[in-house]
Amino acid sequence: MNFCFRFPLVICLCFVHLWAMHADDPALSSRQPVHTQPGQRLARGVCRYLRTLDVTCLEEMVPTRGLRVDVMGLGPKGEVWVVECKSSRADFTSDSKWQGYLPWCDRYFFAVDQAFPVEILPEETGLIIADGYGAEIIRMPDEVKLPAARRKALHLSFARQAALRLQSYRDPGVAAVFGG
């Protein structure tokens, strides 16, 4: 108890939920450090940047069966952005499914690092230059408004997926019981 009185509530909360509650959980103690891939680092930088624009992000969002976007963002007025992170020319040229994401957003972006040959990216898409710590929008795409019913379905799906991830984070054992 003394720990909580000496440190701010946030530190106490982290201590209780991230260490004390799981100190004897074998599933957590055996976890290895996570090594991120280049696309994951780009996604992290994109999410950090979009947060400064008041766009809330969810990585690896599934808007519909068979599609998974790298980053989906919800803006303060309900706008939906999709960002696909490409770590190399080969990554871009081997993946032709990006056009299937267009009906699921108001604005579509590619996020790449500074060394990426941006001239190969379609001009009608947005362009974000990113690294693992931040990003910047270089080219803003035209907005193509989603139909209201699809927007509502995406907002609900976004909220449910985010809540399930939070619950799994707070209680890792819940996935073993209920799946996901």
Task: CATH number for 38-166: choose from 3.20.20, 1.10.3470, 1.20.950, 3.40.1350.
Answer: 3.40.1350
pLDDT of residue 128: 98
pLDDT of residue 178: 72
pTM comes to 0.78
pLDDT of residue 136: 98
pLDDT of residue 35: 64
Residue 29: burial class (beta carbons within 10 Å; 0-12, 13-18, 19+): exposed
pLDDT of residue 97: 87
Domain ranges in the chain?
Answer: 38-166
Tell how far CA 152 is from the center of its chain: 19
Tell me the pLDDT of the chain (180 aa) as tens digits. 444 444 444 444 444 344 444 444 444 444 444 567 888 999 999 999 999 999 999 999 999 999 999 999 999 999 999 999 999 999 999 988 899 999 999 999 999 999 999 999 999 999 999 999 999 999 999 999 999 999 999 999 999 999 999 999 899 887 677 766
